[in-house]
Amino acid sequence: MIKVEHLSKKFGELTVLSDVNAEIKKGEVISIIGPSGTGKSTFLRCLNLLEVPSGGNIFIGDTDILHQSADVPKIRQKMGMVFQSFNLFAHLTVLENLTIGPIKLLGWSKEQAEKKAIGLLKMVGLGEKIDSFPDELSGGQKQRVAIARCLAMEPEIILFDEPTSALDPTMVSEVLAVIRRLAKEGMTMAIVTHEMDFARDVSNRVFYMDEGIIYEEGTPRQIFDFPQKEKTRAFIHRIRNFTYHIGTPNYDLYAMNGEIETFCEKHVIPKETRNKVLLLVEELLAIFSTGSGTQAFDIDLTLSYAEKQDSLDLIMESAGAYLNPFEENVLSDQLGTTIIKSLSENMGFQRVNERNRLRLTVRKP
């Protein structure tokens, strides 16, 4: 139904979208997630031409909506949009907000438009609010009216731009319930959201956006349980990172250990786990310092704490010759390796770009 090819968008010198490629099929629900400022809302606004793309192609069915011959107003009628700020007409009643579009743009009679509107308001649980004005409604009610107003135009596709971000937590569930109902009824939808549990529950596919592109996509299970890329994994699991670079054999061990302690305290990591981390770092540095040599002393240490799993990963990279401490007969002294194995699990080694990369999970108490 929607096909996007090499979409880009610039605001002056700022590149917001660089090379977006995507396809949304009829009846699919796509959740779009990612950090703030990565182009998620701009992507939606380009789909219905509220923002004019700087390059690329957008096809709705067989129609390239960026072609000069495209009938943009007609295309927009097929694609409704629900905004985070509701965008209701404050001077019109709820009923009038729903009927103005069908009457003026679709040529419906007042009676026809009102009948449709009343049915939609009942569907979103607001049948008794037809004569109310927007300022008499709660935030959740306003957003449900906005959804009903969008449906009144009988769109084939609905775009939701963070539909719950302006709502109090108590009002979020009532809006999400309406979207869930639309999903069950087969409405094609693309939803920018920060509600991860909702995205997992309602979506056919999830787009993770970062760096102005769709950085990773897949089913909810693939994205939330088995993300393939580091940035996706960090976002999904709300990972907090500590990094430390060692560029000389005369590094300040006490300063580094102090920073590790501070990181662990900040994330309420138990003292027993902290002590394991410090011992692991000491043993790993003893091994990798030997392999680095003084001429190219280059070691990167990273601690990654995944709040959701309550797990702590330790990654150490070093320049120099190939050195996998877990291979037999690589080290003359195996005591350090034995200590590392006893304090950790899920150990893995890679040789990447002429660097040794060891990743392990600190064993819980």
In this structure, the number of other CB atoms found within 10 A of the CB of residue 248 comes to 10
Higher local confidence (pLDDT), 209 or 295 = 209
Q: Which of 361, 362, 338, 360 is nearest to 350 (CA)?
A: 360
What is the 3-state secondary structure of 244-277? EEECCCCCCHHHHHHHHHHHHHHCCCCHHHHHHH
Q: What is the mean pLDDT of residues 205-232?
A: 93
Output the average pLDDT for the chain: 88
Q: What is the mean pLDDT of residues 333-357?
A: 84
Specify the pairing of strand 29-33 against strand 205-210.
Answer: parallel
Q: Which sign, positive or negative, has the C-alpha torsion 168, 173, 174, 180?
A: positive
Instruction: For residues 21 and 213, give the distance between their C-alpha atoms in angstroms, rounded to a whole number.
Output: 8
Instruction: For residues 200 and 206, give the distance between their C-alpha atoms in angstroms, rounded to a whole number.
Output: 8
Instruction: For residues 158 and 163, give the distance between their C-alpha atoms in angstroms, rounded to a whole number.
Output: 12
**CATH classification for the domain delimited by 238-362, as one of 3.40.50.300, 1.10.10.10, 3.10.400.10, 3.30.565.10:** 3.30.565.10
Note the helical H segments in 153-308.
169-184, 196-202, 220-225, 230-236, 253-266, 271-292
Sequence-distant (6+) residues with CB within 8 A of 179 are 147, 160, 163, 189, 191, 198, 202
Token output for 260: 């590790």
Give the chain's end-to-end CA distance (angstroms, integer). 52
Considering the domain 2-236, what is its CATH architecture?
3-Layer(aba) Sandwich (3.40)
**What DSSP designation does 138 have?**
-
Q: Residue 97: what residue type?
A: N
Instruction: For residues 101 and 91, give the distance between their C-alpha atoms in angstroms, rounded to a whole number.
Output: 15
pLDDT band at 323 (very low <50, low <70, confident <90, very high): confident
For the chain, what's the residue count? 365
What is the pTM assigned to this prediction? 0.72
Taking only the tens place, the pLDDT of each residue in 348-361 is: 888 888 888 999 99
Residue 36 confidence (pLDDT): 84
Instruction: For residues 21 and 7, give the distance between their C-alpha atoms in angstroms, rounded to a whole number.
Output: 7
Taking only the tens place, the pLDDT of each residue in 91-137 is: 999 999 999 999 998 899 999 999 999 999 999 999 999 999 999 99
Sequence-distant (6+) residues with CB within 8 A of 51 are 9, 42, 45
Q: What is the mean pLDDT of residues 222-226?
A: 91
Give every strand in the sheet of 2-11, ordered side by side: 14-24, 2-11, 55-60, 63-64
Of all residues in the chain, the percent with pLDDT exceeding 90 is 53
Residue 333 confidence (pLDDT): 58
The 3-state DSSP class for residue 80 equals strand
Residue 291 confidence (pLDDT): 57
- Under 8 Å between Cβ of 220 and 199: yes
Q: What is the mean pLDDT of residues 5-26?
A: 93
Longest dimension (CA), the chain: 88
Give every strand in the sheet of 205-210, ordered side by side: 79-82, 157-161, 188-192, 29-33, 205-210, 213-218
Per-domain residue ranges of the chain: 2-236, 238-362
Q: What is the mean pLDDT of residues 83-98?
A: 91
Taking only the tens place, the pLDDT of each residue in 230-285 is: 889 888 887 788 899 998 888 888 999 999 998 888 888 888 999 999 999 998 88
Taking only the tens place, the pLDDT of each residue in 289-314 is: 765 544 457 899 999 988 777 889 99
In order of 81, 82, 204, 219, 353, the CA distances from 153 in angstroms are 11, 12, 24, 30, 55
